[in-house]
Amino acid sequence: MNELNPEKNKFISWPVVALMDFVTVIGFDDIIYNFQNQGLAVVTTWILMLFVFVVPYEMIVGHLGSVFSHDGGGMTSWVRHTSGDLWGYICAWTYWVSGLPYIVDVANSMVISFGWMIYGNNSLSSKMSNAMFALLTAIIFTIFIFIQHRLKNSLQVFSVIGGGAMFLMTVLYVIMTMVYLGKGGAPHTQPFSLQAFVPHVDMKYLASFALIIFAMNGSEFAAPYVTEMQDAKRDFPKAMWMLAIMTGFLTVLGSFALGIFFNAHHLPNDLKMNGSYYAFQKMGAEFGCGQFFLYAFAITQAIYMMAQLAVLLDGGTRMFLSDTAKKYLPASLTKLDERGLPINGYWLTTAICTFIMVASATLPNMNSIFNQLLNLNGIVSPYTTCFLFSSFILVRLHNDDYPTDFVYIKNNKLAIAVGTWCFLITFLFATLGIWPVDEKPGTKTFYHVLTLNIVEPLVMLLIGGILPLIAKYQRTHQNSHI
């Protein structure tokens, strides 16, 4: 019996998988971003999307994770099994590269969190040039590649601490909001009426849905770890249910709480970049606690962002390299180090992230850079999620070929209809996300951002097209010497 215990200790439990996934799916910042876009109406949007998108999406991930419980490539494995090697590579590249703007965004957020810890205010943007902002972001990539390479179990440690702490801070924020209302505090949003929760449907509202979907997707990042679970077919769907419940709590009640401490009709222009810190700073002021809540959140945010960076660097790179047909990749990219980590894949990640950061640094100020990089995620990430729904549709079209212990929607026709619905709305809102929501239409900055929103994704796709050509050249060159 004792001989089995070391093996058991190597398994990842489903609550840990849920927390690892949680740090990539939703955070307090995601609530802030969409609160600025939609105001209190975002509460209605979150509730609607929870039922028509989040639960179906995460149960679809649970279904596919159960079907392919022995594959370590996550979504790339699912596409390769259902559509062949070429589509598997296309999915692997687009999925991996679509996560890179978010890695840049996370690294930026780490810089900002350190700024708040050092200065206790939002003055970092006035003290730092765009070039220094980009340089610090690149340094953070390098540090985290070293951490991934050297520290055993760093991924799980960061995820459990960061994910758990962020969830607890959000619960604290909601509880303190209820205490504030209970002692007779008035909401800062005035008028605070049902009308404030009704969405105003226009181009900006429709374009902002891309960021809503981006905020709620990412659960498939846990899929590469199904092979490290003791009973993935049974436990992976449990992790998805836990994730869906935490997501619902965080988005709906968190957004409501923001409407209590902020005037949703008059929000700061830099809310997306600094809003999370403003939120806890305001709460501390209301309860006479000074900067205590602000510093507690800044520390939590830094750890949470470290966890995100660890999961994104590791999980995303694994998805790209672990189950992609080798013939489409240069040999150096598939090389593993002594710990089995794709170290060259990490360096390619850093190079592309640096390009994205440098291109976006051409914008006039740090706030515009932050917003553009954030909204870029709302374009590329939902487009890639479409592969997930197409795989589910194909699995259900050939149901007998893909047996599973966990079945999401037993009626096949209904399951295919739900998968098709998720595919269509995801594709539509990703396309609308190209419209710059944070800039005034017709201005120079508006067209600058619009250009970046089109050019940056195209360059990332172009690099993906070059890699198979390099691999083909290497094979031809190698064969010519045999």
CB 244 within 8 A of CB 258: no
Specify the CATH superfamily of domain 15-476.
Answer: Amino acid/polyamine transporter I (1.20.1740.10)
Choose among 455, 451, 432: nearest CA to 443: 451
Query: Which amino acid is present at 237?
Result: P
Helix%, strand%, coil% for the chain, nearest 5? 75, 0, 25
Choose among 72, 49, 21: nearest CA to 218: 21
Reported in sequence order, the residue ranges of 24-108 that DSSP labels E, i.e. its strands, are: none
How many DSSP H helices and E strands does the chain contain? 20, 0
In sequence order, the 6+-apart residues with CB closer than 8 A to the CB of 133 are 108, 111, 361, 366, 369
CA dist 227 → 95, 103, 222, 289 (Å): 20, 25, 10, 46
- Tokens 């494995």, residue? 77
The two structure tokens encoding residue 142: 């390098």
Long-range contacts of 110-119, Cβ-Cβ distance < 8 Å, separation of 24 or more: 110/140, 110/302, 110/305, 110/306, 110/309, 111/136, 111/137, 111/140, 112/273, 112/274, 112/370, 113/298, 113/301, 113/302, 113/305, 114/302, 116/274, 116/277, 116/294, 116/298, 117/295, 117/298, 117/299, 117/302
In sequence order, the 6+-apart residues with CB closer than 8 A to the CB of 324 are 73, 76, 80, 88, 89, 92, 93
Q: What angle do CA 102, 369, 108 make, to 5 degrees?
A: 45
Instruction: Give the per-residue pLDDT at 2.
Output: 40
CB 432 within 8 A of CB 210: yes
C-alpha span between 307 and 299 (Å, rounded): 13
Instruction: Give the per-residue pLDDT at 191.
Output: 87
C-alpha span between 292 and 226 (Å, rounded): 39
C-alpha span between 147 and 456 (Å, rounded): 28
pTM recorded for the entire structure = 0.80
C-alpha span between 423 and 407 (Å, rounded): 19
For 337, list phi and psi in degrees, rounded to 5. Answer: -85, -170
Instruction: Give the per-residue pLDDT at 8.
Output: 43
Instruction: Give the per-residue pLDDT at 164.
Output: 76
Instruction: Give the per-residue pLDDT at 481.
Output: 55
The two structure tokens encoding residue 6: 């070391």
Per domain, the residue ranges of the chain are: 15-476
Q: Look at residue 363 and give its three-state secondary structure.
A: coil
The Cβ-side half-sphere exposure at 455, using a 13 Å CA radius, reads: 11
Burial 394-415 (b: 16+ CB within 10 A, else e): bbbeeeeebebebbbbeeeeeb
- Over its length of 482 residues, how does the chain's per-residue pLDDT go in tens digits? 343 334 445 677 888 878 777 766 777 788 998 999 999 999 999 999 988 998 898 888 888 887 887 765 577 788 888 988 888 888 878 877 877 887 788 888 888 899 999 999 888 878 888 788 778 877 877 777 666 556 555 556 666 777 778 778 888 888 888 999 998 888 999 888 889 899 988 888 899 999 899 888 777 766 666 667 777 777 877 887 888 888 888 889 889 999 998 999 888 888 988 998 999 998 898 888 889 999 999 988 888 887 777 767 666 666 666 656 667 878 777 777 776 666 777 778 778 888 888 888 888 888 888 889 888 888 988 898 999 999 999 999 998 888 877 788 889 999 999 999 999 999 999 999 999 888 888 899 899 999 999 999 998 888 888 888 888 888 787 665 55
Instruction: Give the per-residue pLDDT at 202.
Output: 86
CB 182 within 8 A of CB 347: no
